[in-house]
Amino acid sequence: MVELGTWSLTRAALIILLLPRSLEECGHISLPTSTVRLGDSITASCTISPNCSHLGPESQILWKLGTQLQLGERQLRLADGSQESTITLPPLNRPRDLLSCCLRWGNSVQILDQAELWAGYPPAAPHNLSCLMNLTTNSLICQWEPGPHNHLPTNFTLKSFKSRDNCQTQEDSILDCVPKDGDSHCSIPRRYLQLYQHMGIWVQAENALGTGKSPQLCLVPMDVVKLEPPTLWALAPSPEVAPPQPGCLLLRWELWKPSLYIEQKCELRHQPQLGEASWALVGPLLPETLQYELCGLLPSTAYALQMRCVRWPLPGQWSDWSPSLILTTAQQAPIVRLDTWWRQRQLDPRTADVQLFWKPVPLDKYSGQIQGYLVRPPGQTGAVPALCNTTELSCTFHLPSEAREVVLVAYNTAGTSHPTPVVFLESRGPPLTRLHTTARDPHSLWVGWEPPSPRPRGYVIAWGLGPPSPSSSNMTWKMEHNGNISRTLLQENIRPFQLYEITVTPLYQDTVGPSQHIYAYSQEMAPSHTPELHLKHIGKTWAQLEWEPQAPELGKSPLTHYTIFWTNAQDQSFFTTLNASSRGLVLHGLEPASLYHVRLMASSKAGATNSTSLTLMTLALEESELHILLGLFGLLVLLICLCGASRFCCRPSRKNPLWPSVPDPAHSSLGSWVPTIMVEEAFQLPSLRDPGMPPITKITVLEEEEKKPGPWESNDSSGTCGLPTLVQAYVLQGDPRTPSTQPQPPSSTNDQVFYGQVLGSPTGPGPGHYLRCDSTQPLLGGLTPSPKFYENVWFQNSPLGTPEPLVPNQEDDCVFGPLLDFPLLQGLQVHGVEGLGGI
């Protein structure tokens, strides 16, 4: 028994070794079969022998399938004292599983017995059975396809028998052929075979669930013989064999020696080694010839050739294709057009030096490979030495001054191309105009021009390295045969940072035009170095710099601008940009006695280059200048303080100003109070015929900003100075014809200064009087001062209309006085009070 839970089977096996021997054979699992179809269920029983009775009569038998622990369906005690548990397992969905019978042992579960379960399918019938007679191994080799996997161990057996009537009856059985594990082929040795007698062959597959058989194959071993492929060879040239024509190949082959006594036929296939062409089949070829001339091929083309053979005319199997043989067809004479150009120089009056250039243009993709070029005078044969015999694309030779033509041909072993006449034409055509270039990228250049009139038939464009290192031997050129174009792209031998001399020559029908030259770069470099900075003059807050521009360099892009950078001791950087024609700069705004680092950067379209750093120090200030600056700074501080103080003192929001605010009578509200209408247009005021109430008019002379009342001012905001409360006051503002029928709110000392009230009537016999309060707010300086309190006369109308002196109230600060004594009220007129009692 072994403990379950999370322990592995390996550890469980170790525990079995440690358990008592008496417990190892306690239980036994019984199965009807250990292999079932996948998806079927199975019933198992586990019996515990009486030897294990000391484990307890109530011991419970458990089952475990894989890692799943479950109870049995029933548990019985048999007559012999053993205990038996039965379980029907659920459908098996795994090809292989482990079933365990267990018993509880204290707090653990012990394994008593185990059984391995297999699930799968019966084997399918093998198919595609085929057999070949191999003369190399001298055996019959058969192979098949086993069919789908059935999840069970399956054995394959190749069975066969001999027969004389097309396998209808079985005569002698042949020993079964059992393949190795995993193989799907088997060989029957020659000693069990009758080479020319029929035999029946089939494959049988067998596993625990059943058997499958393939269809029977009936054959004669020699009818399925498979020969080995022949060996191909190239036919070597000899005096007896003429060399092959262009487009033909000569080859031979050797048959496999064990098949020399067998009549057979062969097939040949070929394919160009380059390209995607398919195989072309040639045959049948009889092996007696042993050599063959294959024609109809492309010249100067490499071909791969293969051959196979079969027993013929009797039945047989084709051999495999032989290894490839690579052969190349003979080439033909070059089929090319030669574009030519030349340069001619007069050495002396009778001799000219000619430099001839050419370019081959293939006219056929199967043109023969060119091995060399010949330059001859016209009309000469091969007996006369050629002017040039070269493999290069140019040649230099001498001609008499009167010679105007040579002939150029390309040649190889198969012959020569058509002759190309080269005529040295005189330059009499119109030239090109406005030749220009543009770089497309660092390795190509556009060259453009304006075509002349009449239009040329073509152009020759030549280019090479320009000065200071021109070399005509490295010149590259091309010919444009379209005279209507106005530009062309140069892509050969173009490198960046190199100066190229480009020449364009127009070609006409019987002449050429003069050559036009231009120099160009495909890509220019940034400046190699920057002008050196020099300090010319320096002051306390400025520095004058200068530099000498460098001469233009070949291959370097021209400068577009300068940039000057300077940095102070606090690492604060500044810069300015100047055009490329500048030679100096004055730096302003520097600090006295300060250190600066200055550098110059020269920039072009190709990049920029920095100069070395220039370090300078500005001059220090003198002692007198320092005193002046300190004095100016002190005056500035003093001026700021005075402005701040004046603003603080004159601010209108202050409650207690440092000096009283005197109103301007010319801008007071009194001027707007005086009516502008005539007396006869006055309207009637409401009747106030109360004999005990004198007519009162309240006048606000000046408006004053908000202020708190002084200790001597009354807090009574009614403005009536202790008069009876029945007195109705009117504030006359704007149009005096509009009566104020609503009582006015009390006049507060926060927004008005109350100077006095006028009592009386304009129709009375006596002068008007006023009622004045002792306000400390001054009026206008320089005028008649206000009367003293003992100069005031108090009046009050009695009920009989007789004027009586009024007794002033001791609790009020208001006193009466004659109206004429108050200068500002001398011109006062009151209208609309007719019928009221006089004062």
pLDDT single digits (tens) 557-592:
778 889 999 999 888 999 999 998 888 999 998 988
The CA distance from 340 to 358, in Å, is: 4
pLDDT at 757: 54
How many helices (DSSP H) and strands (DSSP E) are in the chain? 4, 54
What is the mean predicted confidence (pLDDT) over 503-510? 91
pLDDT at 8: 33
Q: Binning pLDDT at 50, 70 and 90, where does residue 304 land?
A: very high
Residue-level pLDDT at 564: 92
- Residue, of 790 and 489, whose pLDDT is higher: 489
Residue type, 753: V
Beta bridge partners of 601: 563, 610
Closest CA to 78 of 107, 45, 109: 45
Average pLDDT over residues 65-73: 83
Q: What is the pLDDT of residues 115-147, one digit of tens each?
A: 998 889 888 889 888 898 888 888 889 999 888
* pTM of the predicted structure, to 2 decimals: 0.44
Tens of pLDDT, residue by residue over 400-457, are: 888 889 999 999 888 889 999 999 888 888 988 889 998 888 889 999 999 888 899 9
What phi-psi label fits residue 722: left (phi over 0), alpha (psi between -120 and 50 degrees) or beta? left
Q: For residues 111 and 109, what is the distance between their CA atoms, to the nearest angstrom?
A: 7
pLDDT score at 785: 54
Nearest residue to 306 via CA among 316, 294, 315: 294
How far, in Å, CA of 109 to CA of 112, rounded? 10
Selected residue with higher pLDDT from 764 and 681: 764
Quick one: which of 352, 155, 133, 102 has its CA closest to 223?
133
**Which position has the higher pLDDT, 823 or 713?**
823
Nearest CA to 729 out of 709, 705, 747 is that of: 747
The answer on pLDDT for 809 being more than 50 is no
Rounded distance between C-alpha atoms, residue 255 and residue 308, angstroms? 10
Which residue would you say has higher pLDDT here, 300 or 513?
Answer: 513
Contact 109, 72 (CB under 8 A): no
Instruction: Report pLDDT for 137.
Output: 83
β-strand partners of 361: 337
User: What was the pLDDT predicted at 678?
Assistant: 45
For residues 765-776, average pLDDT: 50
Nearest C-alpha neighbor of 340 from the set 455, 450, 481: 481
Q: Which of 248-257, 520-529, 729-738 has the highest mean pLDDT?
A: 248-257
Decide if pLDDT at 806 tops 80. Answer: no
pLDDT exceeds 80 at position 339: yes
| pLDDT score recorded for residue 321 | 93
Span 616-624, average pLDDT? 80
Any idea which of 345-354, 639-648, 717-726, 818-827 has the lowest mean pLDDT? 717-726
CA 69, chain centre distance (Å): 58
Decide: residue 166, CB within 10 A, 0-12 exposed, 13-18 middle, 19+ buried: exposed
Alpha-carbon radius of gyration of the chain: 67
pLDDT reading at 332 higher than 60: yes
Q: Give the model's pLDDT for residue 448.
A: 94
Average pLDDT over residues 20-49: 79
Q: Is the peptide bond before 743 cis (omega within 30 degrees of 0)?
A: no
Q: Where are the alpha helices (DSSP H) in 315-397?
A: none
* DSSP 8-state symbol, 720: S
pLDDT mean over 747-753: 44
Give the pLDDT score at 718. Answer: 39
CA distances from residue 42 to 174, 431, 717, 723 in whole angstroms, order as listed: 40, 106, 119, 130
Positive or negative torsion for Cα 46, 47, 51, 54: positive
Rounded average pLDDT over 70-99 = 84
| pLDDT at site 728 | 37
* 584 sits in which H/E element: strand 584-587
Length in residues, the chain? 839
List, in order, residues 6 or more apart from 708 with CB less than 8 Å away.
Answer: 655, 749, 750
- Among 292, 244, 294, which Cα is nearest to 413's? 244
Q: Using CA atoms, how far apart are residues 225 and 311, in angstroms rounded to an integer?
A: 8
Structure confidence by residue, pLDDT tens digits, 155-186: 899 888 888 888 888 888 888 888 888 888 99
N- to C-terminal Cα separation, the chain: 143
Helix (H) or strand (E) holding 478: strand 476-480
Q: Considering Cα of 49, then 55, then 56, then 59, what sign does the dihedral take?
A: negative
User: Residue 684: what pLDDT?
Assistant: 45
DSSP result, 365-376: TTPPPP-EEEEE
657-672 confidence digits (pLDDT tens)? 555 555 656 555 554 5
pLDDT bucket at 653, cuts 50 / 70 / 90: low
Contact 188, 202 (CB under 8 A): no
pLDDT for the residue 21: 41
Angle among Cα 358, 361, 362 to the nearest 5 degrees reads 140
**Cβ-contact 588, 545 below 8 angstroms:** no
DSSP single-letter state for residue 241: B
pLDDT at 667: 59
Residue 38, C-beta contacts closer than 8 angstroms, at least 6 positions apart: 92, 93, 95, 119, 120, 121, 151
Distances (CA, A) of 330 to 294, 296, 299, 451: 12, 12, 6, 46
Segment 621-632, tens digit of pLDDT: 776 666 777 788
177-222 tens-digit pLDDT: 888 888 889 988 888 888 888 888 999 999 888 898 988 888 888 8
Mean pLDDT of the chain: 75
Mean pLDDT value of segment 640-658: 71
C-alpha dihedral (288, 294, 295, 296), degrees to nearest 10: 120
3-state SS, one letter per residue, for 2-56: CECCCCCHHHHHHHHHHCCHHHHCCEEEECCCCEEECCCCCEEEEEECHHHHHHC
| Angstrom distance (rounded) from CA 724 to CA 796 | 11
Residue 640, CA distances (Å) to 413, 634, 635, 649 in order = 109, 10, 9, 15
Which pLDDT score, from 0 to 100, does residue 408 have? Answer: 93
Reported as a pLDDT band with limits 50, 70 and 90, residue 750 is very low
Three-class SS of residue 257?
helix
Nearest by Cα to 687 from 722, 728, 724:
728
Question: Using CB atoms within 10 A of its CB, is residue 202 exposed (0-12), middle (13-18) or buried (19+)?
Answer: buried
CA nearest 416: which of 344, 490, 335, 351? 335
The answer to whether residue 725 scores a pLDDT higher than 70 is no
Distance CA 596, CA 545 (A): 13
